[in-house]
Amino acid sequence: MKKFLVTSVLTLLLATPVLAANELTFDADTTINLPDLSINLIIKSGSVVDSMTANSGSITFVVSSGNSFTIESSDQRAMALSPALAGQSFTCANPSKLIFTPQTGISGTSVTLTPSATVCSSGGGSASTGGGGGGGGSSSSSSTTVTEPETTAKTTTESPATAETPATTTNTAAEKAAEQVKNIVAEAATIAGRSVESVLAAVGAMQDAKAEAATEIKYTNKLVSDLKNNVTAEERIAITNFINYGTPTTKILGAGERAGVISSYKSAFGKVPTTATEWSDTIKIGNGRWPSETNAAAETKAAAEFKKVYKRSADMKQANDNAAVTVISYGLRPTARNLNSEKAAIKSFKAVYGHNPVSALAWDIVRAIAYSGAKR
């Protein structure tokens, strides 16, 4: 099944791959919101790529020969791809337009589009990029796993070739997202290592044995009590350490919300995290990122819950619908909470289900209502 997830509309800090079994085809004009720049870009109907990642200030595509895509900016922003591969052309008009057709021999290559913060020069006609082949990353997918880009090389964001707008080097949103993934992987290894000393060093905290004992009673025991597979004492310690102390990227959540993150992971996958890979996915959920492991059954269930709430089936090519289903599936947390939106979402939930949210799935539905932007 083609997966189309555009998470920037959620105000979630997600760098989430949009994947298909073979390629991603845009059958209709698709609007992508980039909140960091307060603009929308339109991917034109007929565009075809291997996969796409929508970030808060950029879009990363994986492309191969035979694919092509066209992007328009109604805000008339300057646009260019990095690295500057041959086959892209930019037209400064209203809307401005970038077209990219990879040359022969390109396979699984990553390119990042970071629009300019300013409009392009109206006097400029079009600019084409020649020369330059070269390397990007690769994207791999299967029916059950989504692999996020491990690293993103430093790139040069180039504006159209005009005298008024020279090329500049910036840290793109894609680079920041890649750095976050590296940090999450390191944090996961620390938690999975079950050394409280290492956890304390990572977050700059002092050990509190009384708080650990209270956390185990209040949260850890409940999380593991109904699991068929036994959770070892060491694995329970890791859970308690994560909830009680957190990690650098999840410390802001608080103990109760970190317990909720594990509960969402458990709801999606039927287990608590024990390995470094599973902890990495848990911490990704806490940071609003798509986990590497996916669960088709959880996504099917989420689609059914979407239909209960919105009285229609989700259109997975529509950004808000796709974001809602994803949040319901995996419990991705927003980077910035809006308590008024959450209060309204709780009322909507109660109107649909007849009771207040209690379970992990119920709270994930509330988050989807509050932040996805999906409408009936």
Q: What pLDDT score does 158 carry?
A: 32
Q: Which has the closest alpha carbon to 154: 168, 138, 140, 166?
A: 168
166 lies in the same domain as 306:
no
Q: Is residue 366 part of a domain?
A: yes
> Quick one: pLDDT band at residue 242, thresholds 50, 70, 90?
very high
Q: Could you tell me if 359 and 279 lie in one domain?
A: no
Task: Tell me, yes or no, whether 157 and 18 share the same domain.
Answer: yes
- Distance between CA atoms of residues 85 and 80, nearest Å: 10
Average pLDDT over every residue of 330-342: 86
Sign, Cα dihedral of 177, 342, 4, 279: positive
* Same domain as 165, residue 66: yes
Inside any domain, residue 132 = yes
**Residue 274 and residue 313 share a domain:** no
Torsion from C-alpha of 55, 58, 64, 70, nearest 10 degrees: 120
116 closest CA partner among 167, 68, 152, 163: 167
Q: What are the residues whose beta carbons fall under 8 Å from the beta carbon of 103, sequence distance 6 or more?
A: 65, 85, 86, 87, 133
Q: Indicate if 126 and 32 belong to the same structural domain.
A: yes
Which are the contacts of 304, defined by CB distance < 8 A and separation ≥ 6?
none
Q: What is the mean pLDDT of residues 120-141?
A: 38
Q: Mark whether 47 and 157 lie in a shared domain.
A: yes
What's residue 21's pLDDT?
39
- Percent of the chain topping pLDDT 70: 80
Q: Which residue among 114, 142, 170 closes a domain?
A: 170
Does 1 reside within a domain? no
> Do 191 and 321 reside in the same domain of the chain?
no
Which residue among 170, 195, 221 closes a domain? 170
d(CA 27, CA 13): 26
How far is the CA of 60 from the CAs of 54, 84, 156, 264, in angstroms? 7, 13, 14, 28
Asked if the model's pLDDT at residue 161 lies above 80, the reply is no
Token digits of residue 312 = 């229609």
Q: Which of 286, 320, 351 is the last residue before a domain boundary?
A: 286
What are the backbone dihedrals phi and psi of residue 198, each rounded to the nearest 5 degrees, phi first?
A: -65, -40
The answer to whether residues 146 and 188 belong to one domain is: no
Indicate if the alpha-carbon torsion angle 179, 182, 183, 184 is positive or negative: positive
Q: Lowest-pLDDT range, 17-21, 233-237, 259-263, 283-287?
A: 17-21
Closest CA to 178 of 319, 343, 13, 19: 13
The C-alpha atoms of residue 246 and residue 242 are separated, in whole angstroms, by 4
DSSP single-letter state for residue 132: -
pLDDT attached to residue 76: 85
Q: Are residues 142 and 33 in the same domain?
A: yes
Residue found by looking up tokens 């609003």 in the block: 288
Identify whether the C-beta of residue 74 lies closer than 8 Å to the C-beta of residue 95.
yes
pLDDT of 156 above 60: no
Q: Judging by DSSP bridges, how do beta strands 69-73 and 81-82 pair with one another?
A: unpaired
Number of domains in the chain: 3
Measured at the alpha carbon of residue 320, what is the angle toward residues 316 and 321, in degrees to the nearest 5?
A: 40
- The structure's pTM equals 0.56
Residue 274, in any domain of the structure: yes
Does position 142 have pLDDT exceeding 90, yes or no? no
Regarding whether 146 and 241 lie in a shared domain, the answer is no
Evaluate whether residue 148 is within a structural domain.
yes
Beta strand residue intervals within 155-209, DSSP E: 156-157, 168-169
Angle at which helices 196-203 and 233-245 cross, to 10°? 20
369 vs 324: CA distance, rounded Å: 7
The whole domain housing 39 covers 8-170
Antiparallel, parallel or unpaired: β 96-100 and 88-91: antiparallel
Segment (H or E) for 62: strand 59-63
**Are 349 and 242 members of one domain?**
no
